[in-house]
Amino acid sequence: MIRRGVALARRARSRDLATAPSTPSTSPRDARAPRDRARAHHNALTPNLQGKVIATKIIAVDARNGVASALTGIRGAVTYKLSELDDAPRVGDVVEARVTWMNNPAGALDLEVRGLARRRSLERVWRELVRARDAGATVRGRILNAVNGGYAVGIAGMIAFLPARAYRGRAPPTTAEKAAAAGGKADAPVVGELCGFKILKMTSSGENYKNVVVSGPVGGGANERRAAAKARHEKARSWGTKRRGDDEAEAATEDEAASPDEEG
């Protein structure tokens, strides 16, 4: 009796399943799809673009509120202030921006559009200085002012450090007024005068800290040009004196050689 009752219960359950309305099956992968889409922008596979410049496309401009919306292609839309943009944007324009933070507290990108031209210029200068350092070439710069332990040197918009131990001038740098008062005979380079420098060391930590250490001045500068011209002049004078001495000695030898014949 027990076995027959179990069999009847099984047949009844089978009839209930056959008559029940069908429901679409959901696979475990389909169930995870919304969660995966929500995390797609925050996983480890997202490229790290912090500090990089990306192109964004303007999709809406609200002149009344002074903002514009743009797509980044990485996250959702970002909002720019019209005052931050160089020109009035239109829908469809491409605006370049630098990623300052990949995930702000709201989980979005932080972008900046100001100062990109200057940053690019400094990056080009940095690459040129790296090449000059590797080649041992001389770079041109100007001594700006004295700082703790040395001097500040401006090189193509970047501030370098000239340690006092690496300073090659005969006297501390002087100003143009003092050099003029000395009649242009000062042995020190003039502040603000274009001179040559050798790069000793370059260090960079992240995107904001860049340190350049130089030695010099090497060549250039009005004082050094005057010193070089004076050295050339002294060398030419010594060479001319030597030549005159050789000519006089040669003439005396010729006179001595000719005197016996005249006596005969």
Kindly report, residue by residue over 94-126, the tens digit of the pLDDT: 988 888 888 777 777 788 888 787 888 888 899
Query: What do you get for the CA distance between the two ends of the chain, in Å?
Result: 171
pLDDT given at position 200: 94
The pLDDT confidence band at residue 263, using thresholds 50, 70 and 90, is very low
The top-scoring range by mean pLDDT among 111-115, 131-135, 231-235, 243-247 is: 131-135
Listed residue (102, 159, 106) closest to 129, CA to CA: 159
Cα 138 to chain center, whole Å? 19
Architecture of domain 50-114: Beta Barrel (2.40)
Pairing, β 194-205 against β 110-112: unpaired
| Class of the CATH-defined domain 118-225 | mainly beta
CATH 2.40.50.140 occupies which residues in the chain?
50-114, 118-225
Residues in the chain: 264
Tokens of 200: 């000793």
| Cα(59)–Cα(68) distance, integer angstroms | 8
Which region holds residue 219: left if phi is over 0, alpha if psi is between -120 and 50, else beta?
left
pLDDT given at position 91: 92
pTM (two decimals): 0.53
Cβ pair 63, 73 in contact under 8 A: no
Summarised one tens digit per residue, pLDDT across range 49-84 is 777 888 899 999 998 999 999 998 887 788 898 888
Q: Which contiguous run of DSSP H or E holds residue 25?
A: none
